[in-house]
Structure 1
Amino acid sequence: MAALTPGAPLTVGFDLDMTLLDTRPGIKATYDAIAAETGVWIDSALIVTRLGPPLEAELVNWFPEERVDEVADRYRELYVHIAVPACVPLPGAREAVAAVRGHGGRVVVVTGKHGPNARLHLDHVGIAVDALIGSVWAQQKGDALRGEGASVYVGDHLGDITGARAADALAVAVATGPYGVRALREAGADAVLPDLTAFPDWLAGHLASAPSPVG
């Protein structure tokens, strides 16, 4: 298990969808709008059970490859007006961010979502972060986390565990997305929490157990 480097500033990364925010109703409605415009049947109820990978990775299940970029652009246009206003913070999200700040830390969001739309989400719910990196997934999240100096990454997806591992950060998983506690543990998460309401106590314990600076 990775540990906080003595003397290093605390930086904690969070995923967005189904980690900090419940975006499912708005995402479902946006896919329904795309289906209505294009005449292509899309199982939006299925899609919202497997959020995590970037938009294009989902669209290839419903559209030929040559149409994916066009549909993705339209989806993102509609998303601003349909999905952003419908999002709500998940239980404990605000408290988790406040806990990091209470320990003098930085909060970064690293997400597969289109960055400008992720920013609109955070602005809508009033959650302030120190940095936001969008449109990254799995291993790419590791590069973003490493660039921000994150020692902890909190997410709900197996791809988030991959990203934390790539950054040599602690992988803290929350069972608020498509995977349950057992699956997250088996995937190698360093800690698995039922939801973010448990994060402040976990963080306090983690920091209390970190080695003290020498000298």
Structure 2
Amino acid sequence: MAKDFLKAVEDRRSIYVISNEKVVPEERIEEVVKFAVKHTPYSFNATSGRVVVLFGEEHNKLWELAKDELRKIVPVENFADTEGRIDGFKAGYGTVLFFEDQEVVKGLQEQMALYKDNFPIWSEQASGMLQFVVWTALENEGLGATLQHYNPLIDEGVKQHWHTPDSWVLRAQMPFGKPEIKAGEKEFQPLEERVKVFK
């Protein structure tokens, strides 16, 4: 199902209506996620990115955890909309959790003090690249996904349930599944306002 790279980038969209119908084997999803983790560039080859992939009941547990935490802060009269949104993510096939390992970042800050202030910035930039590569790779396999940010609300529950190290800081959650509705039309700001070329 391989596509031209630019076509894959173009087709990667936020797909909010997903189901848990199997599109590709779990092993293939693991394979593309591991490929992304291995090949996404990090400054100074820092490799501070960490990923947890959840399927089945483990995936469901994450979104129940998010719902429980949101119930504590969302007014009762508004909770139905929130619950519907979370149940939409839960309806998918799995979730990728993205972390940055702060021990790696701190180690590099100690090794190369000259760049100390930049390593946290570069870590976040690389995390964004990793999220993009995974998202595009999942789309390329025929899956729909979105990028969510329920951290730090769910951080403690995630740490306790999946026993992630204290140094792993949660950055994003990516629920994925079979796309049930295509993404709508997208408007773009004129490129002339966003790109300058000098020759």
* Smaller-chain TM-score bracket: under 0.3
Bigger relative contact order, structure 1 or 2, given CA contacts below 8 A and separation 6+?
Answer: 2
TM-score, normalised with respect to structure 2: 0.27
For the pair shown, the structure with the greater C-alpha radius of gyration is: 2
TM-score, normalised with respect to structure 1: 0.26
